[in-house]
């Protein structure tokens, strides 16, 4: 996805976590992701840091947050103004209403796939998105009306539903003090970028509810 603010181009994508890239005249831009906890209109910081599109040693070129499950999040982008300091130039709060959303279901059990599909349809009814369901069961995939209308269209978001292995190998996971748990904003912890909590002791309903925020 793409937007333009004056002479600044902003690219963002939610299909494999949250990614933001900026093409503009300034050396540095500050990007942060904030989450709105349930029943709260006050957001809390999840992660934020500077990025650049220039060759500046030690600065990242792309903002990336690998969390793939549902969050009520907002992206905020600032540039530095010599007179007023950081100046907000753009914000975007996650909203998939009316948009195509991918749901990749990973299970070999057709009954479980049907159950997870029912949860996907509940999510799409609640959020107002247009679901695309992908599983190993083609008869289930074709039940959604958007199955045949997705060629050349980039989904707004992709959710992966299943018992997914932990892909995180960054310092937040390997640091012994955290014992494999991801900490963000000094207020929230996740089991992995794929699951808010370990699925080992969860049933099918709890797994999908965790991922979709139901």
Backbone torsions φ then ψ of 76, nearest 5 degrees: -125, 135
The predicted structure's pLDDT at residue 148: 56
Domains in the chain, start-ordered, CATH in brackets?
A: 2-93 (2.60.40), 100-164+199-212 (no CATH)
- Give the global pTM: 0.88
pLDDT in tens, 121-171: 999 999 999 998 999 998 888 777 765 566 668 899 999 999 999 877 766
The predicted structure's pLDDT at residue 82: 76
Q: Average pLDDT of 11-22?
A: 95
The predicted structure's pLDDT at residue 149: 61
pLDDT in tens, 19-73: 999 999 888 899 999 999 988 899 999 999 999 887 777 677 899 999 999 999 9
Q: How crowded is the C-beta side of 4, counted as CA atoms within 13 Å?
A: 2
The predicted structure's pLDDT at residue 9: 94
- What distance in Å separates the CA atoms of residue 73 and residue 78, rounded to the nearest whole number? 17
Tell me the percentage of the chain whose pLDDT exceeds 70.
91
- Mean pLDDT rounded to a whole number for the chain: 89
The predicted structure's pLDDT at residue 27: 85
Yes or no: say if 157 and 102 are a contact pair by the CB < 8 Å rule.
Answer: yes
């Amino acid at each position: 996805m793409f937007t333009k603010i004056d002479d600044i181009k902003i690219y963002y994508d939610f299909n494999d976590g949250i990614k933001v890239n900026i093409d503009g005249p300034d050396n540095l831009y500050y990007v942060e992701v904030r989450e709105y906890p349930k029943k709260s209109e006050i957001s809390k910081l999840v992660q934020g840091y500077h990025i650049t599109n220039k060759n500046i040693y030690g600065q990242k070129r792309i903002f990336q947050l690998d969390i793939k499950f549902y969050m009520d999040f907002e992206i905020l982008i600032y540039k530095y103004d010599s007179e007023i300091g950081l100046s907000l130039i753009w914000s975007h709060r996650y909203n998939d209403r009316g948009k195509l959303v991918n749901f990749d279901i990973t299970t070999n059990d057709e009954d479980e796939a049907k159950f997870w599909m029912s949860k996907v349809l509940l999510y799409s009814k609640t959020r107002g998105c247009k679901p695309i369901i992908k599983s190993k069961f083609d008869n289930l995939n074709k039940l959604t009306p958007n199955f045949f209308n997705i060629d050349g269209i980039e989904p707004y978001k992709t959710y992966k539903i299943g018992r997914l292995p932990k892909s995180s190998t960054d310092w937040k996971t390997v640091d012994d003090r955290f014992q494999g748990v991801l900490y963000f904003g000094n207020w929230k912890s996740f089991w992995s970028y794929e699951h808010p909590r370990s699925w080992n002791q969860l049933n099918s309903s709890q797994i999908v509810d965790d991922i979709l925020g139901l």
